[in-house]
Amino acid sequence: MNNFYMIIRPLALAVHALAATIFVAGCALIPSYELPPSGLPVAWPTSAKMPTPSTQNPVIPSWQDYFSDTTLRQLIGTALDNNRDLRVTLLNTQQAKAQLGIRQADQFPTINTTVTGARTPTSAGGINSAYSAGLAVTAYEFDFFGRVASLKEQALAQYLATTEAVQTAQIGLIATVAQSWLSLLADEALLTVTQQTLATRAESVKLVELKLAQGAASELDHRLAQTLLEAARVTLAQFARQRALDENALVLLLGQSLNEAQRAQLRQTSLEQLQFAELLAGLPSDLLAQRPDIRQAEQVLIASNANIGAARAAFFPRISLTTGLGSASSELGGLFKDGAWGWTLAPQLVLPIFDGGRNQSNLDAAKAGRDIALAQYEKAIQSAFREVGDTLASRATLVQQLQASRALQDAETDRSRLTQLRLEHGAANQLEWLDAKRSLFAAQQGSIQTQLAYLQNQIALFKALGGGASVQPVAAKGLN
């Protein structure tokens, strides 16, 4: 056994020395990477009005700080734990991490234990026995030109891209849950207003029928009252259907149904009660650091750049080594005795001479892939800038629209009240009263829908600015 350790120790040291040399030689053929210019304007469009931040890099609050409503925070937490799309994204990250581990392991030799035994008959009627045992390194590639190291760098960038994809998925999920909850609140408000209107119009039909019987109303008044009643029923059915669809969409995001406490809160909460933290847009260049989808696109670009290094290395010789150390004997009992030890060394050099243009095509494909990744990176930046610009521009007009819709609702409420008084004193006819009721119903719907659009715009701005990107990836259930 002493002879075994004396032989295996120099071999192990030599292998480690070669591995260290190859690791340093790593990325010689990878093109030097430089972050492309963002091309972002120096300021937001003039239509995007936002408060001026006190610093150039304002901090976007986390979703726990941005959303103050307790029920909404519970719903977002449930979605982060249970959403299946997010779980798939997390599993993709684990898969990419495993691939990175494989590429890292390729940089080092794999040492296996081998034990073989054979007994074959001879022509003379005897038996030939052969036994061997030892350690073997099979086809270990000396990465002098960085092919394996380039593939490792590519796998690392792909893994980092998947971690950024998790952040992007989380931000999108948080925003979608919040917007879905707002839609449900708006549906409840619209249903309440419609039910009240339906009850009022049903009473109006009864009143007109009494007047018609006494000759104080015309058949036209009766038909108009019935028309408004049936229109309210149509609207009620539409809003009821939309509420059911919106709840189904939220349940899919949550991965479970709403509990009784959440349903009760849904009936008690109004859109006007929801308040979000103030957001400051900062400078356009802040998007590069705050939006994970941009960082993801950059990692994809880095991976494509590293793939060029692997494609270039294919043009150079590939040197591999197969070696073994062990003992052999014709008797099993003499396998580890002195004098039975030996070793084999079989280096191999493969130099590409003619491959029908395969290596050149692979290199061309890698370069084209890098150009595609560059275009996608630039598009990610441009898309991010547009998303923020659109939400900022919409914010300014939505504030004005919300103020106008509330003023319109107040005016229509007063008009309906005054028309009711005029009708009771004979100064207005049934037609004017019904028209006032119809206009009030439309104004109430418009006010609710504008309030919903305003709040959803705030959530869209939170998402567009990279809000929630500081959230740490949650552990997918069932992974351990």
- Domain 1-27+110-141+320-351, classified CATH 1.20.58.1030, yes or no: no
Which pLDDT score is estimated for 209? 86
Check if the beta carbon of residue 467 is closer than 8 Å to that of residue 63: yes
- Please give the single-letter amino acid code of residue 221: D
Check if the beta carbon of residue 131 is closer than 8 Å to that of residue 332: yes
Range 290-293, long-range pairs (CB < 8 A, 24+ positions): 290/60, 290/465, 290/466, 290/469, 291/384, 291/465, 291/466, 291/469, 292/164, 292/165, 292/167, 292/168, 292/171, 292/466, 292/469, 293/164, 293/168, 293/380, 293/384
Check if the beta carbon of residue 449 is closer than 8 Å to that of residue 390: no
Mind listing the pLDDT tens digit of every residue in the chain (480 residues)?
444 444 444 444 444 444 444 444 444 578 888 877 777 776 666 665 555 555 555 677 888 889 989 999 999 999 999 999 999 999 999 999 999 998 888 888 888 888 887 778 777 777 777 777 778 888 788 888 888 888 899 999 999 999 999 999 999 999 999 999 999 999 999 999 999 999 988 988 888 888 888 887 788 888 888 998 999 999 999 999 999 999 999 999 999 999 999 999 888 888 888 888 877 766 676 677 778 999 999 999 999 999 898 888 888 888 887 887 777 766 666 666 665 677 777 788 888 888 888 889 989 999 999 999 999 999 998 898 888 888 888 888 898 999 999 999 999 999 989 988 888 787 877 778 888 888 999 999 999 999 999 999 999 999 988 887 654 444 444 433
Which pLDDT score is estimated for 473? 45
**Element (H or E) spanning 162, and its range?**
helix 147-213
Check if the beta carbon of residue 151 is closer than 8 Å to that of residue 26: no
Which pLDDT score is estimated for 7? 44
Query: What DSSP letter does each residue of 293-352 carry, written as one string?
Result: HHHHHHHHHHHHHHHHHHHHHTTS-EEEEEEEEEEEESSGGGTTSTT-EEEEEEEEEE--
Which pLDDT score is estimated for 2? 46
Q: Which CATH architecture has domain 31-107+143-317+352-464?
A: Up-down Bundle (1.20)
- Compute the radius of gyration of the chain from its Cα atoms: 37
5 class by beta-carbon count within 10 Å (0-12 exposed, 13-18 middle, 19+ buried): exposed
Give the domain ranges of the chain: 1-27+110-141+320-351, 31-107+143-317+352-464
Which pLDDT score is estimated for 219? 85
Which pLDDT score is estimated for 335? 66
Which pLDDT score is estimated for 282? 64
Dist CA 312 CA 149 (whole Å): 12
Cα distances from 194 to residues 190, 228, 444, in angstroms, run 6, 12, 9
